Amino acid sequence: MTLPPIKVFTGNANPALAKEICDGLGVPLGAATVRRFPDGETFVQINENIRGSDVFVVQPTCSPANECIMELLIMVDAMRRASANRITAVMPFFGYARQDRKDKPRVPITAKLVANLLTAAGVSRVLAVDLHAQQIQGFFDIPVDHLFASPVFYAHIRNKPWVREATVFSPDVGGLKYAAAIADHLQLPFGFVAKRRTSDTTVQATSLVGEVEGRDIILVDDMTETAGTLTAAAELLKKNGARSVRALVSHCMLQEPAYPRLRGGPIDEVITTNSVPVDPKGLPITVLSIAPLLSDAIKRIHGNSSVTDLFKVKGY
């Protein structure tokens, strides 16, 4: 059976990543116009024939989240009306993932709403990286391939000299399972930092559980915006004798409060991915590419072969 042609398109969220993915696949980036009308509405036109094609739309729903989501929805609608055979939303970062439950009275479950919108628009499948909450996969009635950035991090750090005497730490109790999985893979001890959030941008680290003194600490988290949680944890770790503190962060969506916290702060290095555009601004931030990871996953989806076998992380 002949497979339908593969087409890769992108919105304005992260075109550089989409181009890298296309280079890995050996296909050109699809031609599309995605722009704004003067009143802010989004206009989309697909500028090539996609009838019967296997279409992949690369669009992390990062800042500005609402604009990126609308771009994605409108692109998918245009592709569905252009008779694409299958449409896969490649979302290296899935926005609104933190609103995955009702933790207060009369609040929405926005992650579920976004899932409904994507399905209603015509998405056939979703490809995501390091979802903030794994239960989000269950919000969809279509297949969701959940990849992990861990293999990219492992390849980068496994031969670093500071890994030999490191302890993997989660900056909060919620990330302990992920920290334990990474520690198990690297055969390192692990621990966590207890924290108390005092506002949307301010966090107070209160206590530590784990081996710290004289150790090189690897803080792992799925995302950061203001770096409040990471820097509060790093300060407490340094006060308790940590030799160095490095952060592995899958999605680094740095906002203005983050830069003064990281500049000359307690974190020696932030290692992140290009799931969203990252501007280091001269800070010790190392950006690793997940394009090969996504290219390989897209090849497998297109060829109807297993993605899970390749990207499943033991224990997570």
Catalytic member of 104, 195, 238, 281 = 195
Residue type, 86: R
Calculate the dihedral angle through the C-alpha atoms of 241, 247, 248, 249, rounding to the nearest 10 degrees. 140
- Encoding tokens for residue 74? 């409108």
Neighbours of 273 (CB within 10 A): 26
| Separation CA 273–CA 149 (nearest Å) | 8
Distances (CA, A) of 243 to 191, 234, 262, 272: 16, 11, 17, 21
| Separation CA 133–CA 131 (nearest Å) | 5
| 195 in catalytic set | yes
How many Cα atoms sit within 13 Å of 45 on the Cβ side? 5
Residues catalogued as catalytic: 195
